[in-house]
Structure 1
Amino acid sequence: MPITNLPYDGRLNGRAFDLRHEMTPQEKRLWYAYLRTYPVKVYRQRVIEHFIVDFYCPLARLVIELDGSQHYTEQGKEYDEQRTAILEQYGVQVLRFTNLDVDRHLDAVCAQIDSTIERRVAELRG
C-alpha cells in the first residue's frame, strides 16, 4: 500500500519555485500544450523526498520526467536509477521521455501519459 503523503525536503521549495520559472523549452511545451489543463491535477517542479521532479500527478502517483543530455552520462544514469528506486519505494511510478520525444512526437508522448494516468488511477482505486 503506497504512503498517502510523500516526504519532502522543504529546503528545496525555493529551488522548485525557481525551476517553475526556468523550465526547459520541452517542459514548457508539454506543460502549456497538455499538462496545465489536464483533467486531473498535475504539478510542475514538485519536491518529493530530496528530489525535484519535473511533473507529478498525485492522483496517479506518477512522476513524469523529461531527460536532457545530462541524463545520458554514466553519472546521470546512475543518479536517475537511484532516484527512481527511491520514488518506487513510495509507490510512485516514473515515466521518462527524452527532450527529443517531446520535440518530435508530442502527440505520442501525451497519449502515453494519458494512458498511464488512466491505468494508474484504476490500479490505485482497486
Structure 2
Amino acid sequence: MRLAGSDSSRRNARRLRRAMTPPEVGLWLALRGNDAGLRFRRQHAAGPYVLDFYCAPAKLAIEVDGEAHNRGDRPLRDELRDEWLAIQGTHVLRYTAVEVLTNLDGVVREILTIALARRERSEG
C-alpha cells in the first residue's frame, strides 16, 4: 500500500520543501547521496500529514524536531501522528534539530542501519 497524502498535505509539502530548516537541509544532503542505495523523499505528504523524510521501501519516516515540538499541544499532536503512521505500517524515527546539527554522521548511520533492516524484513 502506498502512503499517499491528501491534496492539502501535498500542497503543504511543496511549500515546506522551499522552506527547509538548516538541520533538514543537512540531513537531506546526507540522505539523498547515501551509499546504501536507499531512496528518501523530503517533505513527503502522508494522509493529512507531511513527513520531513520518508523511505518507502523501508516504510520509515524521519522527523527533525525543533524546539517547538516540546511546547503546547505539539507533543500530543506528534503522538497522534506517530500512532496513525504505525497503523499504516510506518515506523517513525525522531531526532532533535540540535542532534542533527552536532552529530549528523551518527544520525545518518543510525537511519541507514534501521532503514536497511526494515527493507530486508519487508523483502524477505
- Equivalent position of 1:48 in the other structure: 46
Residues 1:6 and 2:12 are matched in the alignment: no
Q: Unaligned regions of 5+ residues in structure 1, if any?
A: none
Identity across matched positions, percent? 34
Name the TM-score, length of structure 2 as normaliser. Answer: 0.93
How many residues matched?
A: 122
2:31 is aligned with 1:35: yes
| 1:111 to 2:95 alignment | no
Unaligned runs of 5+ in 2: none
Q: How big is the alpha-carbon RMSD for the aligned residues of Structure 1 and Structure 2?
A: 1.1
CA distance in 2 between partners of 1:95 and 1:124 (Å): 18
Q: Which amino acid aligns with 2:43?
A: Q
3-state SS of 2:101 partner: helix
Task: Answer yes or no: is the 8 Å Cα contact 2:42–2:53 preserved in 1.
Answer: yes
Moved over 6 A (4+): none
Aligned residues of 2:9 and 2:47 also touching (Cα < 8 A): no
Deviation at 1:55, TM superposition (A): 0.3
Give 2:23's aligned residue. Answer: 26
Deviation at 1:74, TM superposition (A): 4.2
Q: Tell me which amino acid in the other structure corresponds to 1:75.
A: D
Structure 2 residue aligned with 1:91: 89
